[in-house]
Amino acid sequence: MTAPPAEGRRSRTRQALLAAAEDLFAQHPIDAVAIDDIVRAAKVAKGTFYNHFTDRDDLVRTLLIAIRGRIEATVDAVNAGVEDPARRVVRGVCAYVRYALDEPRNTRILLRALTPTGATVSRLNKGVLDDLSAGLAVGRFSLATTEAGLLLLMGVSQVAMARAIEDGAVALPIAQQLCGMMLKGMGVAAEEAERLAAQAADEIIRRPV
């Protein structure tokens, strides 16, 4: 079955707006891109924009949800069958770095739009918050709060991703070092933290030649 013509046109227009926004946000700071710029690049009338999004922030949220959703699906895959919270969080960070290497354009958009505001209530952070809570419950982590752990993890992920798109050659060693520091900051013993970080970086960031 095919979609009705009107529905098909609506879908194509929405995708054109999202694609135009992706191109512009990858090249410019998000605040510097106006709705006029987006509709001009998408070759649609300005009024059409509001048939799909309430405002520019709504479009940005839609893009971010799509990007984060793809990364979180990868995180779920690399953590399938992994129960140790320490291994899960470090493997999650490495999955984000791997994404940065594979998708630098969308990573730039993500980094420009990410903010710690509302991080603890975002449904996209539920998985890592569950891991942090589990780690605290069993004494794997020694953190004041799960929010503190989340902000630490977000900071490490963002810095590692930024360095990955600047210079892919340093992505693995930088991620490994930062992940080791992160685990130690969460209370994991130094030797184990370094081992887990090295293992995760090697398995997830390094690709077979």
First to last CA, the chain: 43
Q: Domain range holding 47? A: 5-53
User: What is this structure's pTM?
Assistant: 0.87
Would you say residue 58 lies in a domain? Answer: no
| Mean pLDDT on 119-133 | 79
Nearest one of 60, 44, 55, 54 to 10, comparing CA atoms: 44
Answer yes or no: do 185 and 126 share one domain: yes
Residues 34 and 129 in one domain: no
Separation CA 130–CA 53 (nearest Å)? 32
Residue 196, CA distances (Å) to 58, 87, 174 in order: 38, 6, 14
Q: 39-69, pLDDT tens digit by residue?
A: 999 999 999 999 999 999 999 989 988 898 8
Per-residue pLDDT reduced to its tens digit, 62-91? 998 889 889 999 999 999 999 999 999 999
For 187-198, what is each residue's pLDDT tens digit? Answer: 999 999 999 999
182 and 144 fall within a common domain = yes
Rg of the chain's alpha carbons, rounded to an integer? 19
Same domain, 103 and 164: yes
- Report how far residue 158's alpha carbon sits from residue 90's, in angstroms, rounded to the nearest whole number: 13
In the chain, how many domains are there? 2
15 shares its domain with 95: no
47 in the same domain as 145: no
36 lies in the same domain as 89: no
